[in-house]
Amino acid sequence: MNPTAFEVFFDGDCPLCMKEIRMLQWMDRKNQRIRFTDITDPLFVAMYETGLPHDELMAEIYGRLPSGELVSGMEVFRQLYGAVGLGALFAPTAWPILRPGFDMAYQLFAKNRLRLTGRCNADSGCAIPSSSASALSPS
């Protein structure tokens, strides 16, 4: 893996998320500028890997810059699409006059993501699924 890769933390149980992740994996297959980390993997320990609780990673998308800094929301998409050569497509999402609207639209999607992707049920409603691994403390 490229040490200067951008790492994305994604929900592997989200059908919509997985369509986008698969497309990005295909687009990144030669350059490997993105490290893909599934936060639903039973071996993934959120606090150990990111310093954030699993619920926070499930609430909105996160990524890690090569410097180690965590970013979230639309900045993750700007980094992802920049890594596969489509940064110009997402550039308007960073323009000062448009950024608040794009950020708000993403937050609205993130808040309703489970419902929009058919992952709510009668028992738990739209509660964020917990991770058994995230409860583990790193040794």
The answer to whether residue 36 is domain-embedded is yes
The answer to whether residue 129 is domain-embedded is no
The answer to whether residue 49 is domain-embedded is yes
> Which pLDDT belongs to residue 114?
76
The answer to whether residue 134 is domain-embedded is no
> Which pLDDT belongs to residue 132?
46
Task: Print the domain residue range for 10.
Answer: 6-121
The answer to whether residue 76 is domain-embedded is yes
The answer to whether residue 126 is domain-embedded is no
The answer to whether residue 1 is domain-embedded is no
> Which pLDDT belongs to residue 125?
56
Q: How many CB atoms lie under 10 A from the CB of residue 31?
A: 12
Instruction: Give the mean pLDDT per block of 10 residues along the chain (139 residues).
Output: 84 91 96 96 96 94 96 97 95 96 93 74 57 45
61: region left, alpha or beta (phi > 0 left; psi from -120 to 50 alpha): beta
The answer to whether residue 130 is domain-embedded is no
> Which pLDDT belongs to residue 100?
96
**pTM of the predicted structure, to 2 decimals:** 0.83
Provide the number of structural domains found in the chain: 1
